[in-house]
């Protein structure tokens, strides 16, 4: 079958003919229907996947597939079911649980690659940038009513943003600020906050055109261009929840601007790719009774809930611009994804022959 292969950390992804995956106990064989190509995929491959991965590796995290065959000891999935892959694979031990992203990175919950993760990576190795994949059943979610349409591939990123907003205890009526609202995760966060009944959603970012596009989605959205820390905080005003979905910005200032805007009793959740250290005044957190929370990927239940929102029409995934690509040109696809960012999601449709935009 055809797949996007990483030969070694730092190499460019290339189209390769690879052996068909073999069905094994605990596994489900999937026809891959649609997979989101994250904006920073090229960065992940060029720098070498974080934490290390075994190579050669078929890359690709998450996605939507149709069940072709079900392995021994798998219950509840049937041939023909449309499922989502949550991307995250956990060990079986509840005392010291470990997890990693299949086909993507080797970092677990503590940010390091342990012998357990290395062993799991070796066994459940390849990702979803391929015509077919073998997934461990524990990473799959059955999606009643799903068809595998390209927009459904956005569920993974929406679920990550939804998990973060859940962890911040977002409620209807809350005022929310999204840092990095012009990115894909931030766009998802803004749409989810609106769907959850937020009374005001402040979209913070540096791309004014994209901020204005979000304003056009709903009158509750307010655009705030990213400036210096004090200016950004003042423009946001007080909010109940701040979602930090920024990419690797070279400074902690935008994040701290968001923290300064959290009203007493509120929460800030870090879900982005900022790698700067934050200097947090102890008294500020204590006196304002703030919660500062981290969030990584999503639980399967969260993804299912987002799917139900989409299926019910509460969340209009189809309103988001999506460009589909086939397997033929991985370099072109990664380049398109990097240039698109929040302006549009790139989705790989492995059996699609022509690229198209919708
Ligand atoms: N916690 C998790 O589970 C999880 C899961 C997935 C991804 N992530 C992380 O989340 C981050 C965002 O992902 P994404 O898919 O939304 O990426 P993306 O579409 O590339 O968005 C990146 C965002 O960061 C902004 N940004 C980047 N560099 C900046 C700078 N120097 N100054 C100001 N703003 C800057 C971008 O603004 P412009 O539009 O102006 O460029 C954009 O809003 C990634 O870095 C990724 O590592 C975390």
Nearest CA to ligand 1 atom 5: 297
Adjacent-strand bridge partners of 5: 14, 58
Ligand 1 contact, 245 CB (< 6 A): yes
Ligand 1 contact, 180 CB (< 6 A): yes
| CA-246 nearest atom, ligand 1 | 24
Q: Residue 321: pLDDT above 50?
A: yes
User: For residue 183, what are the contacts with CB-CB under 8 A and spacing of at least 6?
Assistant: 39, 205, 245, 246, 247, 272, 341, 342
| Domain residue spans of the chain | 2-148+321-357, 161-294
Nearest CA to ligand 1 atom 30: 249
User: How many Cβ atoms are within 10 Å of 241's Cβ, its own excluded?
Assistant: 29
Ligand 1 contact, 49 CB (< 6 A): no
Q: Give the mean model confidence (pLDDT) for residues 240-248.
A: 97
Q: Residue 221: pLDDT above 60?
A: yes
Nearest CA to ligand 1 atom 46: 273
User: Domain 2-148+321-357, what fold?
Assistant: Quinone Oxidoreductase; Chain A, domain 1 (3.90.180)
| CA-207 nearest atom, ligand 1 | 40
Q: How far is the CA of 153 from the centre of ligand 1 (A)?
A: 18
Q: Residue 354: pLDDT above 70?
A: no
Can you say how many angstroms the Cα of residue 328 is from the centroid of all Cα atoms in its chain?
24
Ligand 1 contact, 248 CB (< 6 A): yes
Nearest CA to ligand 1 atom 29: 249
Name the residue of 272, 294, 322, 323 whose CB sits within 8 Å of the most ligand 1 atoms, as the mutation to test its pocket.
272
Give the mean pLDDT of the chain: 94
d(CA 333, CA 323): 10
| Contact present, 253 and 277 (Cβ < 8 Å) | no
Ligand 1 contact, 207 CB (< 6 A): yes
d(CA 226, CA 286): 27
Query: What percent of the chain is modeled with pLDDT above 70?
Result: 97
Q: Which of 89, 100, 79 is nearest to 31 (CA)?
A: 79
Ligand 1 contact, 249 CB (< 6 A): yes
Name the residue of 186, 207, 247 whose CB sits within 8 Å of the most ligand 1 atoms, as the mutation to test its pocket.
247
14 torsion bin: left (phi>0), alpha (psi -120 to 50), beta (else): beta
Q: Residue 84: pLDDT above 50?
A: yes
Q: Does the bond joining 56 to the residue before it have cis omega, within 30 degrees of 0?
A: yes
d(CA 111, CA 30): 29
Can you say how many angstroms the Cα of residue 1 is from the centroid of all Cα atoms in its chain?
26
Q: How far is the CA of 67 from the centre of ligand 1 (A)?
A: 32
pLDDT value of residue 356: 40
* Three-state SS sequence of the chain: CEEEEECCCCCCCEEEECCCCCCCCCEEEEEEEEEEECCCHHHHHHCCCCCCCCCCEECCCCEEEEEEEECCCCCCCCCCCEEEECCEEECCCCCCCCEEECCCECCCCCCCCCHHHHHHHHHCCCCCCECEEEEEHHHEEECCCCCCCHHHHHHHHHHHHHHHHHHCCCCCCCEEEEECCCCHHHHHHHHHHHHCCCCEEEEEECCHHHHHHHHCCCCCEEEEECCCHHHHHHHHCCEEEEEECCCCCCCCHHHHHHHHCEEEEEEEEECCCCCCCCCCCHHHHHHCCCEEEECCCCCHHHHHHHHHHHHHCCCCHHHCCEEEECCCCHHHHHHHHHHHHHHCEEEECCCCCCCEEC
Radius of gyration of the chain (CA): 20
On the 0-12 / 13-18 / 19+ scale of CB atoms within 10 A, 268 is buried
pLDDT value of residue 10: 87
pLDDT value of residue 111: 74
User: How many Cβ atoms are within 10 Å of 280's Cβ, its own excluded?
Assistant: 14
Q: How far is the CA of 271 from the centre of ligand 1 (A)?
A: 9
| CA-271 nearest atom, ligand 1 | 1
pLDDT band at 355 (very low <50, low <70, confident <90, very high): very low
170 φ, ψ to 5°? Answer: -60, 135
| Least confident span in 47-51, 89-93, 200-204, 260-264 | 47-51
Q: How far is the CA of 183 from the centre of ligand 1 (A)?
A: 5
pLDDT value of residue 127: 97
Ligand 1 contact, 341 CB (< 6 A): yes
**pLDDT tens, position by position, 150-190:** 999 999 999 999 999 999 999 999 999 999 999 999 999 99
The class level of CATH for 161-294 reads alpha beta
pLDDT value of residue 352: 56
Positive or negative torsion for Cα 25, 26, 32, 38: negative
pLDDT band at 353 (very low <50, low <70, confident <90, very high): very low
| CA-180 nearest atom, ligand 1 | 43
pLDDT value of residue 184: 96
pLDDT value of residue 135: 98
| CA-298 nearest atom, ligand 1 | 3
């Amino acid at each position: 079958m055809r797949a996007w292969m990483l030969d070694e950390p730092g190499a460019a992804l290339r189209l390769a003919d690879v052996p068909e995956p073999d069905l094994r106990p605990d596994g489900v064989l999937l026809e891959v229907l649609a997979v989101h190509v994250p904006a920073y995929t090229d960065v992940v491959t060029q720098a070498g996947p974080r934490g290390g991965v075994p190579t050669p590796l078929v890359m690709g995290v998450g996605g939507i597939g149709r069940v072709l065959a079900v392995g021994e000891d798998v219950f509840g999935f049937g041939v023909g079911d449309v499922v989502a892959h949550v991307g995250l694979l956990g060990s079986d031990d509840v005392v010291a649980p470990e997890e990693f992203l299949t086909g993507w990175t080797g970092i677990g919950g503590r940010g390091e690659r342990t012998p357990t993760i290395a062993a799991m990576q070796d066994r459940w190795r390849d990702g979803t940038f391929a015509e077919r994949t073998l997934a461990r059943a524990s990473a799959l979610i059955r999606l009643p009513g799903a068809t595998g349409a390209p927009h459904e591939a956005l569920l993974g990123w929406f679920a990550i943003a939804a998990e973060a907003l859940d962890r911040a205890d977002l409620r209807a009526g809350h005022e929310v600020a999204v840092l990095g609202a012009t990115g894909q995760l931030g766009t998802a966060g803004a749409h989810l906050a609106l769907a959850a009944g937020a009374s005001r959603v402040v979209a913070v970012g540096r791309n004014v055109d994209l901020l204005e596009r979000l304003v056009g989605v709903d009158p509750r959205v307010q655009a705030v261009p990213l400036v210096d820390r004090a200016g950004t905080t003042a423009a946001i005003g007080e909010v109940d929840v701040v979602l930090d979905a920024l990419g690797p910005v070279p400074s902690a200032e935008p994040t701290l601007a968001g923290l300064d805007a959290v009203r007493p009793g509120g929460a800030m959740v870090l879900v982005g790719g900022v790698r700067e250290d934050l200097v947090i005044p102890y008294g500020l957190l204590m006196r304002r009774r703030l919660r500062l929370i981290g969030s990584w990927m999503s639980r399967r239940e969260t993804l299912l809930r987002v799917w139900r929102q989409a299926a019910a029409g509460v969340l209009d995934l189809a309103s988001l611009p999506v460009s589909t690509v086939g397997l033929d040109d991985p370099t072109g696809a990664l380049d398109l994804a990097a240039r698109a960012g929040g302006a549009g999601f790139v989705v790989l449709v492995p059996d699609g022959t022509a690229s198209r935009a919708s």
